[in-house]
Amino acid sequence: MTDSRFFKKFGPFTLAQICNQTKIQIPENADPSTEFDNVCFLDEATSKDISSYHHTKYLSSLQKTKAGICFITPDALKYVPSNTIALVTKNPYRCFGIVATMFYPPTSAADSISPLASIHPSANIGNNCTIHPFAVIEENTVIGDNSIIGPHVVIKAGTILGQKCIIESHVVISHALIGDLVYMKPGARIGQPGFGFHMDVLGHFNIPQLGRVIIGNDVQIGSNTTIDRGSLTDTKIGNGVRIDNLVQIAHNVEVGDNSVLVAQAGIAGSTKLGRFVIVAGQVGISGHLTVGDGVKIAAQSGIMRDVEKGEIIAGSPAIPVRDWHKQTIALQRLIKGK
Amino acid sequence: MTDSRFFKKFGPFTLAQICNQTKIQIPENADPSTEFDNVCFLDEATSKDISSYHHTKYLSSLQKTKAGICFITPDALKYVPSNTIALVTKNPYRCFGIVATMFYPPTSAADSISPLASIHPSANIGNNCTIHPFAVIEENTVIGDNSIIGPHVVIKAGTILGQKCIIESHVVISHALIGDLVYMKPGARIGQPGFGFHMDVLGHFNIPQLGRVIIGNDVQIGSNTTIDRGSLTDTKIGNGVRIDNLVQIAHNVEVGDNSVLVAQAGIAGSTKLGRFVIVAGQVGISGHLTVGDGVKIAAQSGIMRDVEKGEIIAGSPAIPVRDWHKQTIALQRLIKGK
Amino acid sequence: MTDSRFFKKFGPFTLAQICNQTKIQIPENADPSTEFDNVCFLDEATSKDISSYHHTKYLSSLQKTKAGICFITPDALKYVPSNTIALVTKNPYRCFGIVATMFYPPTSAADSISPLASIHPSANIGNNCTIHPFAVIEENTVIGDNSIIGPHVVIKAGTILGQKCIIESHVVISHALIGDLVYMKPGARIGQPGFGFHMDVLGHFNIPQLGRVIIGNDVQIGSNTTIDRGSLTDTKIGNGVRIDNLVQIAHNVEVGDNSVLVAQAGIAGSTKLGRFVIVAGQVGISGHLTVGDGVKIAAQSGIMRDVEKGEIIAGSPAIPVRDWHKQTIALQRLIKGK
């Protein structure tokens, strides 16, 4: 049950509306006008709720569910209780997401600029933007239409932000050009100078960090994640990229379209990731490397070499995941043999 | 020596008062009315100071100490210099903490609400709260009696905070129900949406994150730590939990009472930790796992399976700590043999 | 090409000026009065640009460069194209940094105190300081001359900050004495209480954290990095230390002069690092250890023992780097043999 203190619910929606939005045919024996009230986890769902089965851990929940509707893959259809309408799809969780978004659409901007924000007269604020108290928007910035700027956000001089962006509390952005539909969670830090200095026997000499951060459209950036600006070239985050909390992205890194970086991963300077790369939690990738399209890197791996397109790797230093499993087994034998 | 610029000291306290608070009998030859001025590390203590011996690394410091009082376990009594009053206890550091708290009680709230804070008229602020400049307290929130809200803190709409909480600077809390005596250090992020999206060939589809964060009583949360709200169910932090800095807690995670999570640990989505679990620094725990009561996980371990009650594990992937030690030795042999 | 929206460029500078600043002799056949406009990466440089060759990854870029000047080590001189003036030095990147700083000197403070900042009357603000909107500067603080305090920075009571410091947005500093020329990136947290409590069967007892953070001169601290204050003694960061983003430094840690801590490293309580120690990314160091001068620790290593001066170590638990390489090879053999 969603808590009405925090979430405003829309609906109800009919089976017909739900099937229309998810592009699934209405099952033959079901009444298209039946109304549903909410989305819910399998365990807690009632006959007015819509649920989905998308992880084998929850098979017993599926078998006991009282949900009115359940999105399901063809192979699991046989486990759906008879009182539940099964809507069969290859992607139950995508369908669930579509319906959840019908009931709980994302917050949209209202034309509301707090008098407690500090906005430079030269800032170009788009139409219908929301700007919360104590935001600081410096000179020569651009905020696209329908964007939301949270409390205490700092948009430093010259930054350009696209349309329909949501920038949550305490985010700081500088030296950056940012696309549309970008969502940043609280405390993300974008565009500060990278860890750039020359070390020799005379000590450390700071190298001015003269690049930018370029972020595409439909990007999400997690809480307290840090993305440094380039040193001479730019740090680039492609379209559709998803970055979790507490991730570190160093100067000049490039992350290709639709790649995913899970919490606490770290990418060292000048490394380039391809498209649809998946970097699991706490992975570390050394600097000046190239990681090909579609590479998958298991949690806590350490990457010290270039990685070919499509490789699946694990371990520190990382090796092909099959070898890593063999290694784990070999190590077990090693200690049992003694 | 504590620095009076930062710490206001109470006292002096007599040996009788100290023994009374720590429930230790006054030693026979000691004068109960002797006054003591401060707590201090063994090395720097004078005859007016109170110290404790609680780590074998500091045995030589104990032997040379000039402290007036030293809390000590029975087995180490023989090392206490003759001019130091030994107060014998099973838990020297707890006793030290009790006395340190007599001299330096925690900051308590004063009835003081900064005119520079932005507080929605519908917010329900308890009695005797302190609210610092530039705090933002949104609509329909509840702040319990005697709580302190630091500068730039954001309490988002609907959040409920208990009594005697201390929320330090720049913390953001949303979608959360929080108990009494909760202490959050600067920059903690509580209640933002988790890393929830469906990935398929069509790209990423954002799943609305419709749960909450439920936090018990007497919980401490470290600086820049991130705790995402649940996706459909709630993220739950039990009573007495201690969380260090830069920890990541993903959506739907549950942490049982009195568990301890050390710095930079990360817990992936929907994993459940029992009571009195100890998760050392930089540990990663995969999603959808169950970790039993009293489990201890060594630093940098990677947990990829359920863990039974009471297990002590280490390594990545984690194995019983004894096997991990054997493995370390076996690996050393392996390289020496070649 | 640097983006003029974000960077104000000085210059042009003549070859004579450049050689003078970098202490390199003007090449015989070059005209000392030739003017140069900017610094640039080898690939994009024109005849008016100054570049450097400092990483073997960029040899092909060097061979094709059109740069007017390139700083270079003697051994690589032969690869410099004939139209490029080669300025030979042992430290090309230091020279590049010197010249880049001529074109792009660091931001300096202007005498400008925002009326939107909250500054306690007892705060002692030096000459020619810049204080941004919504900064909070509490009682009995000292801000040295020519320092910059960013938006939403909180300087808690009693803190002393030296001259020419730059404290970026959202930094929080408490219980700290800080030297000159210190640069903190957005969201750094300095001086909060450490993770200090006593655990026993009665639960957790909080130990008051009564120490400070002492930071030397010319220190840099990364975004969202956390440095806890000491428990009874102090946490100490020496002169010239460089700390990257998302680093955790626990109570009572000491970091010697000129040491370098890369992103997401974590140092547990009371550990002491010597001078010129290099701690790579995601390294974890246990508590109560001593790490000698000049030690180098590879990324993701786990340190569980004292480390002698000059050791180079890798792995978790860390071993000498040569042994670690042997171990990696031995593990590969192990899985191939089966």
Tens-digit pLDDT profile for residues A231-259: 999 999 999 999 999 999 999 999 999 99
pLDDT of residue B34: 98
pLDDT of residue A63: 97
pLDDT of residue B337: 63
The string of DSSP letters for A64-127 reads H---SEEEE-GGGGGGS-TTSEEEE-S-HHHHHHHHHHHHSPPP---SEE-TTSEE-TT-EE-T
From the list B207, B264, B323, which residue is nearest A100 (CB)? B207
What stretch(es) of chain A map to CATH 2.160.10.10? 171-323
B338 has a pLDDT exceeding 60:
no
Neighbours of chain A (3+ CB pairs under 8 A): B, C
Residue C60 burial (C-beta neighbours within 10 Å; 0-12, 13-18, 19+): exposed
Greatest alpha-carbon pair distance for chain B in Å reads 81
> Which of B335, B336, B338 to substitute to test the interface with C, most C CBs within 10 Å?
B335
How many residue contacts between A and C have a Cβ separation below 8 Å?
172
Average pLDDT over residues A79-101: 96
pLDDT tens by residue, A14-60: 999 999 999 999 999 999 999 999 999 999 999 999 999 988 888 99
Average pLDDT over residues A92-104: 97
Q: Which tokens hold the place of A315?
A: 């371990």
Contact A250 C240 (CB under 8 A): no
User: Are A170 and A152 a contacting pair, CB within 8 Å?
Assistant: yes
The string of DSSP letters for A183-222 reads EE-TT-EES---S-EEEETTEEEEPP----EEE-SS-EE-
- The length of chain B is 338
B335 has a pLDDT exceeding 90:
no
Alpha helices (H) in chain C, listed in sequence order? 15-22, 59-64, 92-103, 321-336
Instruction: Give whole-number Cα distances, B84 to A37, B89, B99, C66, in Å.
Output: 72, 15, 16, 76
pLDDT of residue C134: 98
Contact C203 B282 (CB under 8 A): no
Cα separation, A139 vs C65, in Å, equals 36
Q: Which tokens hold the place of C167?
A: 């404290």
- Report the share of chain A in percent with pLDDT over 70: 99
Helix A321-336 with B321-336: angle, nearest 10 deg = 100
pLDDT tens by residue, B185-202: 999 999 999 999 999 888
Contact A264 C264 (CB under 8 A): yes
C338 has a pLDDT exceeding 70:
no
Q: What are phi and psi of A140, to 5 degrees?
A: 60, 30
CATH topology of domain A171-323: UDP N-Acetylglucosamine Acyltransferase; domain 1 (2.160.10)
- Architecture of the domain made up of C13-103: 3-Layer(aba) Sandwich (3.40)
Cα separation, A161 vs A181, in Å, equals 10
pLDDT tens by residue, C165-205: 999 999 999 999 999 999 999 999 999 999 999 998 888 99
Cα separation, A297 vs A259, in Å, equals 12
Interacting residues of C63 by C-beta distance below 8 A, sequence separation 6+ = C79, C81
Strands C35-36 and C13-14: antiparallel
Q: How high is the mean pLDDT of chain C?
A: 96
Q: How high is the mean pLDDT of chain B?
A: 96
User: DSSP code of C106?
Assistant: P
pLDDT of residue B127: 98
The string of DSSP letters for C234-303 reads -EEE-TT-EE-TT-EE-TT-EE-TT-EE-TT-EE-TT-EE-TT-EE-TT-EE-TT-EE-TT-EE-TT-EE
Interacting residues of C13 by C-beta distance below 8 A, sequence separation 6+ = C35, C36, C99, C102, C103
**Class for the domain spanning C112-287:** mainly beta
Average pLDDT over residues B115-142: 98
Interacting residues of C220 by C-beta distance below 8 A, sequence separation 6+ = A197, A206, C182, C183, C184, C185, C241, C242, C243
Contact C104 A202 (CB under 8 A): no
pLDDT tens by residue, C245-303: 999 999 999 999 999 999 999 999 999 999 999 999 999 999 999 999 999 999 999 99
C337 has a pLDDT exceeding 80:
no
Residues of A in contact with C223 (CB under 8 A): 189, 192, 226, 228
pTM (predicted TM-score): 0.97
The amino acid at B93 = Y
User: DSSP code of A2?
Assistant: -
Residues of B in contact with A101 (CB under 8 A): 206, 208
pLDDT tens by residue, C318-333: 999 999 999 999 888 8
pLDDT of residue B334: 83
Residue with tokens 């392996």: B334
Shortest CA distance to A2 belongs to which of A30, A38, A27?
Answer: A38
User: DSSP code of A31?
Assistant: -
Instruction: Give whole-number Cα distances, A257 to A188, A265, A273, B209, B327, in Å.
Output: 20, 17, 9, 23, 41
pLDDT of residue A20: 98
Q: Please tell me the distance in Å from C308's CA to the nearest CA on chain B.
A: 18
pLDDT tens by residue, B203-246: 899 999 999 999 999 999 999 999 999 999 999 999 999 999 99
> Which of A169, A225, A332 to substitute to test the interface with B, most B CBs within 10 Å?
A169
pLDDT tens by residue, C50-70: 999 988 888 999 999 999 999
Cα separation, A147 vs A108, in Å, equals 8
What stretch(es) of chain C map to CATH 2.160.10.10? 112-287
pLDDT of residue A57: 85
Shortest CA distance to B243 belongs to which of B308, B171, B185, B161?
Answer: B185
Instruction: Give whole-number Cα distances, A54 to A40, A48, A59, A95, in Å.
Output: 13, 20, 9, 11
Residues of C in contact with B258 (CB under 8 A): 203-204
- Kindly name the residue from B132, B152, B170, B251 that is annotated as catalytic: B251
Q: What are phi and psi of C68, to 5 degrees?
A: -70, -40
Scanning every residue of chain A, which has its alpha carbon at the shortest distance from the alpha carbon of B252? Answer: A41
pLDDT of residue B152: 98
pLDDT of residue C332: 87
Average pLDDT over residues C120-146: 98
What stretch(es) of chain A map to CATH 3.40.1390.10? 13-103
- Kindly name the residue from A54, A170, A175, A251 that is annotated as catalytic: A251
The amino acid at B175 = H
Residue B1 pLDDT grade (very low, low, confident, very high; cuts 50, 70, 90): confident
The amino acid at B187 = G
User: Are B187 and A185 a contacting pair, CB within 8 Å?
Assistant: no
Q: How many C-beta atoms surround the C-beta of residue A24 within 10 A?
A: 14
Neighbours of chain C (3+ CB pairs under 8 A): A, B
pLDDT of residue C335: 83
pLDDT of residue A128: 98
The amino acid at B248 = Q
From the list A189, A210, A282, which residue is nearest C104 (CB)? A210
- The length of chain A is 338
- Report the share of chain A in percent with pLDDT over 90: 93
Residues of B in contact with A41 (CB under 8 A): 232-233
More confident residue, B105 or C338: B105
Q: What are phi and psi of B109, to 5 degrees?
A: -70, 150
Scanning every residue of chain A, which has its alpha carbon at the shortest distance from the alpha carbon of B329? Answer: A335
A337 has a pLDDT exceeding 70:
no
* B145-157 residues labelled b (16+ CB within 10 A) or e (exposed): ebbbbbbbbbbbb
C1 has a pLDDT exceeding 80:
no
Q: Please tell me the distance in Å from C94's CA to the nearest CA on chain A.
A: 6
pLDDT tens by residue, C7-17: 999 999 999 99
The CB-side HSE value for B326 (13 A sphere, CA atoms) comes to 14
Instruction: Give whole-number Cα distances, B101 to A181, B106, B193, C86, in Å.
Output: 50, 7, 38, 66
